[in-house]
Amino acid sequence: MSLPTPTIAQFRKAAASSPQQACVMVYRDNHRTLIWDDKLANPVDTATHPVPPEQCLTLDHDQFEALQTAIRTGRPSHGALTISRGSDGRYEFSAAPEYRARAGTARLFFDRHEYTAFVHAVRHHEFERSAFFSPAA
């Protein structure tokens, strides 16, 4: 089954992010959750431009829920997504090695403000499946 490629407009970012602020972007449909860095968009891309799948990390809903639970409880996440802080202070989101075949090989980098806004959004349930438009399967 080939899943549709979401457009930029179908991704959500944390409510705490300003419209022009780069941030962690999340897309959810009936089948998967995608995480993307909007800094990867070209300046000429519009809201209707499809986001290249190779720029995304793709998780199933259980994997994303496990990540959200880890963030909300302050426990380390040992699932499909690895979040590590580099010596430069940036946060790298990548698939854990055993999940790369399915989740993708994208490496997404976020500064402290972007990461903090994402964590705040997760803690305030902004990325719940019910918050996203889900076309019929």
pLDDT tens digits, 16-33: 887 777 889 999 998 999
Instruction: Give how far Cα 83 sits from Cα of 72, 86, 97, 108, 136, Å.
Output: 14, 10, 13, 9, 32
Domain boundaries, the chain: 8-131
Segment 39-98, tens digit of pLDDT: 998 876 788 889 999 999 999 999 999 999 999 999 888 899 999 999 999 999 999 999
Q: What is the pLDDT of residue 51?
A: 94
| Number of helical H runs and strand E runs in the chain | 3, 6
> Which pLDDT score, from 0 to 100, does residue 11 have?
93
